[in-house]
Amino acid sequence: MTTTTNTMPHTMSHTRSHTRTDAFIAQEEAFGAHNYRPLDLVVAEAQGVWVTDVEGKRYLDCLSAYSAVNQGHAHPRLVAALTAQAQRVTLTSRAFRNDQLGPFSEALARFCGMEAVLPMNTGAEAVETAIKLARRWAYRVKGVADGEAEIIAFTNNFHGRTTTLVGFSSEPSYRAHFGPFAPGFRLVPFGDIAAVRAAMTSRTAAVLIEPVQCEAGVLFPPDGFLRELAALCAREAVLLIADEIQTGLGRTGAKFACDHEGVTPDVYVLGKALSGGMYPVSAVVSSRALLDLFEPGSHGSTYGGNPLGCAVAREALAVLEDEQLVERSRAQGAELLRALQALRHPAIKAVRGRGLLCAIELHEPARPWCEALMARGVLCKETHGTVIRLAPPLVIGDAELAVCVEALEAVFGGA
């Protein structure tokens, strides 16, 4: 396939003829559920910012598994932590204590500047945990009548795929025919402080927000919004829950996206890069007083807080700090955004970014452009139809970033 500058790229799917790739795809399509539409490459190996497919072709990963591999693929320290812990003990359940949960909890609490940690596994589970926490607080501290608590969330949110979470999504494809849904949520437009204020009542337990709406197309709220929101929540005795599963842990060039406005939420919800792509680890991080609203028996998870996950996650946090990945994200992200701003192509509607969370918004479907970038050895995925998210691992070096920029310039024309 050829791609020429300033024309709409062809899609690859009809011209590809690699037999190994075809065989894996056919097998997956035959025996797997069809709830995803992946790009048609079959990854066999990955290291740092690079992934290699079954044909031996190498690609620069500009998605990072939705920011789960901020530390880079197969980081040697994480592989070492995983394998060493796998040979010691992997799972005790919380019926017994293990010698990894304490060290992990302290490391994460200190990293976040918070008091206490509740570990889960997937991001969606951690958001569910935060919802339970907010409701408990509303009933036991704020004095809301039992069963009446409300949580304010935002249109175009993405918090995960459980029935409760998709129940307050505004995206039809996430919710269609999965109801009935749990009540107790109110949606307001993202970035609209007056709408949040108007939606608050004496029954409001919390505001649940992604400080940047990644799945919605990498949407940043207006400057000052998070600060005003935090002040409003404090004034109205409403908890502020920041879902930083994708934006946290350095992605936006700060530890947390909330930091850009000097905001500390009542609750952080973390996942994804918390374990650097090794193993699912998520957590709710908050104050002692709030997390103590969970008494023994009130909440749990068989794998939550397991020693394997704890060992990996503690090392993943140490890698972020030792390799100064927050600072690297800020510096490399500024470079990437400059390159995006220099692109000139009529299909480009806007570019935006903070740290290594960047995006190109198009006037047209982004999928063919992602396929053209793939043909040039750069992997990214369209989000919300018309947006290309660019979010490489935070370990990306100058030469690797140059590879990404060259591919973008080749596909979109420009400098």
Ligand X SMILES: *Cc1c(COP(=O)(O)O)cnc(C)c1O
- Which of the following is catalytic: 243, 255, 256, 381? 243
Nearer to ligand X, 139 or 174 (CB): 174
Give the 3-state secondary structure of residue 130: helix
Give the 3-state secondary structure of residue 316: helix
Give the 3-state secondary structure of residue 402: helix
- Give the residue from 43, 45, 9, 10 showing the smallest Cα distance to 25: 43
Calpha distance 18→20 (Å, rounded): 6
Query: From the CB of 389, what's the least distance to ligand X, in Å?
Result: 11
Query: From the CB of 125, what's the least distance to ligand X, in Å?
Result: 7
Query: From the CB of 398, what's the least distance to ligand X, in Å?
Result: 28
Q: How many CB atoms lie within 10 A of CB 43?
A: 16
- Decide: 175 and 167 in contact? Cβ < 8 Å: yes
Nearer to ligand X, 122 or 129 (CB): 122
Q: Which residue is nearest to ligand X (CB)?
A: 123
Which whole-number Å values give the CA distances from 216 to 110, 155, 167, 319, 371, in the listed order?
A: 31, 9, 16, 29, 20
Is residue 192 part of the annotated active site? The answer reads no
Is residue 349 part of the annotated active site? The answer reads no
Query: From the CB of 216, what's the least distance to ligand X, in Å?
Result: 10
- Decide: 309 and 105 in contact? Cβ < 8 Å: no
Q: How many CB atoms lie within 10 A of CB 186?
A: 18
Query: From the CB of 281, what's the least distance to ligand X, in Å?
Result: 10
Query: From the CB of 157, what's the least distance to ligand X, in Å?
Result: 8
Q: Tell me the backbone φ, ψ of residue 35, rounded to 5 degrees.
A: -90, 10
Nearer to ligand X, 273 or 340 (CB): 273
- Decide: 53 and 44 in contact? Cβ < 8 Å: yes
Nearer to ligand X, 118 or 124 (CB): 124
Helix (H), strand (E) at residue 20:
helix 19-31
Query: From the CB of 140, what's the least distance to ligand X, in Å?
Result: 26
DSSP secondary structure, 50-105, as one string: EEEETTS-EEEESSHHHHTTTT-BT-HHHHHHHHHHHHH-S---TTS--TTHHHHH
Is residue 158 part of the annotated active site? The answer reads yes
Q: Name the site residues for ligand X (rule: CB under 6 A).
A: 66, 122-124, 127, 158-160, 210, 214, 243, 245-246, 271-272
Cβ-based burial of 337 (10 A; exposed 0-12, middle 13-18, buried ≥19): buried
- Which of the following is catalytic: 24, 111, 154, 158? 158
Query: From the CB of 145, what's the least distance to ligand X, in Å?
Result: 29
Nearer to ligand X, 124 or 149 (CB): 124
- Which of the following is catalytic: 190, 272, 381, 412? 272
Report the interhelical angle of 367-375 vs 398-412 (nearest 10°).
120
Nearer to ligand X, 17 or 173 (CB): 173
Bridge partners (DSSP) listed for residue 219: 213
Calpha distance 374→58 (Å, rounded): 10
């907010």: which residue's tokens? 134
Give the 3-state secondary structure of residue 357: strand
Q: So which residues are the catalytic ones? A: 158, 243, 272
